[in-house]
């Protein structure tokens, strides 16, 4: 058995991903207006879609996190997390390319006053973190598939 598909590695991977997603979802679930503010700042969505996304996406993150942690529809949960990470990387990447400093909003709205340079640095760090999480989600997806086969 390959160590990558080892049940313990898979379980740790799921718990880690679930914990990060849960930690990210809770502040957004508690404060949807703050998350809507962050989503709007990205400037990628029409106004009509900002509120539905700001309301539903944190719950999707939370349900996916619970699915990963408790092994309920684990592959679908991992696929959702992977998709979300790709969307976040895309959103951050477009704004980084434009030089538009936005509050990531990944772990809820930040009230801290930051300079443009600080925000752009935070965005780069967020892209790296999301890449790591996307790889973890991909691992969970592939390892679960291998185990099912």
Partner 1 sequence: MMRMMRMKRWMEIPVYIALALLCAWCSNALAGPTRRLSWRLKEPTAVVVPNLKTSLASVSPPAPVPVSPLPSNTEASIVHPALMPMTAKIAKAVAPVSAPPPDPKTGVMARFPPLVQEAQAAISGDEAVWLYARGAIFLDARRTALYTEGHIPGAKSFSAWEDGLPEKVDQLSLFTADLKLPVVIYCSGGECHDSHLVAQKLWLAGFRNLRIYADGYPDWVGRKLAVSKGDKP
Question: What is the contact mask toward partner 1 in residues 76 to 115, using x (rule: CB under 8 A)?
Answer: xx-xx--------------------xx--------x-x--
60 part of the interface to partner 1, by CB under 8 A: yes
DSSP string, 47-116: HHHHHHHHHHHHHHHHHHHHHHHHTSSHHHHHHHHHHHHHHHHHHHHHHHHHT------BTB-------H
- Shorter beta-carbon distance to partner 1: residue 54 or 127: 54
> What residue has token string 């930040």?
110
- Which one of residues 21, 64, 126, 127 is an interface residue with partner 1 (CB under 8 A)? 64
106: which strand partners?
A: 108
18 part of the interface to partner 1, by CB under 8 A: no
| CB of 80 vs partner 1, minimal distance in Å | 6
How many residues contact partner 1, by CB under 8 A? 38
């Amino acid at each position: 058995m390959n160590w990558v598909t080892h049940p313990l590695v898979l379980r740790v991977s799921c718990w880690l991903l679930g914990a990060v997603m849960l930690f990210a979802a809770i502040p957004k679930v508690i404060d949807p207006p703050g998350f809507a503010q962050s989503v709007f700042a990205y400037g990628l969505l029409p106004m009509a879609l900002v509120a539905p996304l700001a309301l539903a996406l944190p719950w999707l993150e939370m349900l996916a996190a619970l699915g990963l942690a408790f092994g309920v529809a684990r592959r679908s949960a991992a696929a959702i997390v992977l998709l979300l990470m790709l969307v976040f990387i895309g959103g951050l990447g477009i704004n980084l390319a434009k030089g538009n400093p936005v509050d990531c909003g990944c772990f809820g709205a930040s009230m801290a006053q930051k300079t443009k340079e600080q925000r752009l640095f935070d965005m780069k760090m967020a892209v790296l973190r999301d890449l790591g999480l996307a790889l973890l989600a991909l691992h969970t997806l592939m390892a679960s598939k291998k185990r099912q086969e």
